[in-house]
Amino acid sequence: MGYVVVKISGRLLSPPRSDYYRILRDSILEARSFANLAIVCGGGPTARGYIEVLRDIGVSEAFLDIIGIAVSRVNALALALALMPYSPPRPIEGIEEAVEVALKGLIPVLGGLQPGQSTNAVAVALAEALRADIVINMLAGVNGVYVPPPGFEGSRRLDRVSYEELEGVIRRYPQLAGTYELFDNVALKVAERSKVRVLFVDGSDPRVLIRVLRGEKVEGTMLTTT
């Protein structure tokens, strides 16, 4: 079986809800029969709350990234504990360590890794390292990439998006700590160089992961090389 990297929006993980975590855990464990998994967790509203307060009082962007990383690792720890014994009971703190854990047949669960790099970039870099078949990017309440973004007049979902088109979409978002709502420039460049496919889906129902891996038709947007 090949590897699949699952990126989970922090908005889905925080604040934590037992019903969501239970279905997410069960979906991930069922998904192991279709692929070897690695998981990257975002920081979500808790991270953004800290970042907004600290930005208001003048803390530098580098340190805002650091607190975002810390919160994303708390989310990763919570999910890793929920997945025991199929995952080590701690967040993985580097790509090399994640690969080592994956090669042992366990599920590495990561948060952020370094300032200036979103958890989307972590997911794509990990997919590159594992030679993963795909990154499944589970968004919170959005079922793909929209042009223009949701909320704008004439907004429509794309079934497929090129690197150039996605670059135009994310240009609308500020590339600052706590603002990587969809994707970011670092993630896009890594995806482009490694030709990693990324599927954007709504992760509000975690069972979407099973549907994707079964090959069922799911509403979403695929980032492809063509």
Question: What HEC string does 65-113 produce?
Answer: HHHHHHHHHHHHHHHHHHHCCCCCCCCECCHHHHHHHHHCCCCCEECCC
Which tens digits make up the pLDDT trace of 156-167?
898 998 888 888
Which residues span the domain enclosing 36?
3-223
Task: Please tell me the predicted confidence (pLDDT) of residue 153.
Answer: 78
Across the range 35-52, mean pLDDT stands at 94
**3-class SS of residue 139:** strand
Q: Which of 94, 33, 86 is nearest to 69 (CA)?
A: 94
C-alpha 189/C-alpha 121 separation (Å) is 9
pLDDT band at 179 (very low <50, low <70, confident <90, very high): very low
Separation of alpha carbons 167 and 121, rounded Å: 14
Q: Distance between CA 109 and CA 93 in Å, rounded?
A: 9
The backbone torsions φ and ψ at residue 87, rounded to the nearest 5 degrees and listed phi first, read: -140, 145
**Phi then psi for 23, rounded to 5 degrees?**
-70, -40
Please compute the mean of the pLDDT values over residues 137-161 and round it to a whole number: 86
Domain count, the chain: 1
Query: pLDDT tens for residues 72-82?
Result: 999 999 999 99
Place of tokens 């090949």: 2
> What are the structure tokens assigned to 161, written together?
């998006």
> What is the predicted pLDDT for the residue at 180?
46
Q: What is the CATH number of the domain that holds 70?
A: 3.40.1160.10
- How much is the pTM? 0.91
Helix spans in the chain (H):
10-13, 18-31, 44-56, 61-83, 95-103, 119-130, 163-170, 185-194, 208-213
Please check whether residue 110 is in contact with residue 132, taking contact to mean a CB–CB distance below 8 angstroms.
no
